[in-house]
Amino acid sequence: MAWQIPLADIDFDSREEAAVLDVLRSRWLTMGEVTQAFEAEFASYVGSRHAIAVANGTAALHLACLGVGLGQGDEVIVPSLTFVATANAVRYTGATPIFADIESEQDLDISLDSIEKKVTKRTRAIMVMHYGGYACDMPAITKFAREHNLLVLEDAAHAVGSTIDGRHMGSWGDVGCYSFFSNKNMTTGEGGMVVTDDDAAAARMRLFRSHGMTSMSWDRHKGHAWSYDVVELGYNYRMDEIRAALGRVQLTKLENNNIKRRNLTLLYREQLEELVPAVVMPFKKSRGVSACHLLPILLPPGCDRIGFMEHMKSNGIQTSIHYPPIHKFQTYAKGDPAPSNLPLTEDITGREVTLPLYAALTEENVAQVVRSVQSAVNQVNKK
């Protein structure tokens, strides 16, 4: 399907091509000095002591859980309104995700009130996800966590470049995780990053990233090591030099592209409020500065969402749903303990539709999408 306006698009040009070609010509493809440079630049950008590049965002989340030592018997409070990987990563370690509700129709992030109700003697950590790039209430959540001796992990897959008081999402908690999947604000195809200020957690995550081995091919190639020991049951979660080269160029474009996303988001808000007031556009009042990863809207209650999306499709406009709630998925619904009801999450997940948003979207594109939203809402309401 060739969309007139796709949901997302990447910003690649001759700079990414040249960076990849440099790596190919260097004849060293696996994790080495390009990855180290990417890590150093990323750490400096988000203001964290350590940044560890990994194969994808899910690996980042799993390493975060391993890095802080989660395991069997531990409970981790997570949102249900997120990509399934947030909760899966907790389960990989043997720990149990406990689902909390969102704040409101306007604020789709995890609610501190709901978190408080879910804390038990077994709770070890809170894993937040900054929905669409809109920051969770990190000052309040980290304060609560400190008072209750809980860890805070951040799924910042949507929030690269989001800040509160100048401090980056991903750097508020004990460990922050990013994804560079191809629809994210910066991309390496597949790829991810974990950041932390905790030296011990960083050391554990580096071990787990590479089979639990005490030295790597790169060290041996450089003549720094002849052999190795294996001290943990690790994984191969490494990034490679080709992706790291893409990431370094993408990082230089991020701030500008995020500004474009913010301006486009404002334009959407103005035009939707004027032309389709029946549709809710969340995060009118958001905390800090958003990376504006997604453009979510909520259809009026009872509006036929599939019909709406079909109408958008017939106009050449791609839309999506973020997300079906995790606690309703088969593999979670029969969990022990079975997840409880999350009324706000359940209400909005039936009404949410995500509209196209990417840096190269034009003002004319936004106007076209909004006109199409207007006609779609009118048409499905008539039926």
CB 350 → ligand PLP: shortest distance, Å? 19
58 is an interface residue for ligand PLP by CB under 6 A:
yes
Say if CB 291 and CB 185 are below 8 A apart: yes
For residue 179, give the nearest of 85, 109, 77, 242 by alpha carbon: 85
Distance separating alpha carbons of residues 131 and 32, to the nearest angstrom: 33
Q: How is residue 177 annotated by DSSP?
A: E
Region near ligand PLP per CB under 6 A, out of 55-63, 100-108, 111-119, 299-307: 55-63
**Residue selected from 74, 155, 240, 352 as contacting ligand PLP according to rule CB under 6 A:** 155
CB 290 → ligand PLP: shortest distance, Å? 14
For ligand PLP, give the closer residue by CB, 293 or 311.
293
For ligand PLP, give the closer residue by CB, 250 or 271.
250
Q: Number of residues in contact with ligand PLP, rule: CB under 6 A?
A: 14
Beta strands at 151-155 and 96-100: parallel, antiparallel or unpaired: unpaired
Find the binding residues for ligand PLP in span 113-132 (CB under 6 A): 129
Say if CB 52 and CB 235 are below 8 A apart: no
Tokens of 210: 């590479």
Residues contacting residue 299 through CB under 8 Å, at least 6 positions apart: 279, 305, 308, 351, 352, 353, 377
Q: What does the per-residue mask of binding to ligand PLP show for 68-107, with x meaning CB under 6 A?
A: --------------xx-xx---------------------
Distance separating alpha carbons of residues 112 and 110, to the nearest angstrom: 7
Residue facing ligand PLP at closest CB distance: 57
Q: What does the per-residue mask of binding to ligand PLP show for 277-306, with x meaning CB under 6 A?
A: ------------------------------
For ligand PLP, give the closer residue by CB, 73 or 189.
189
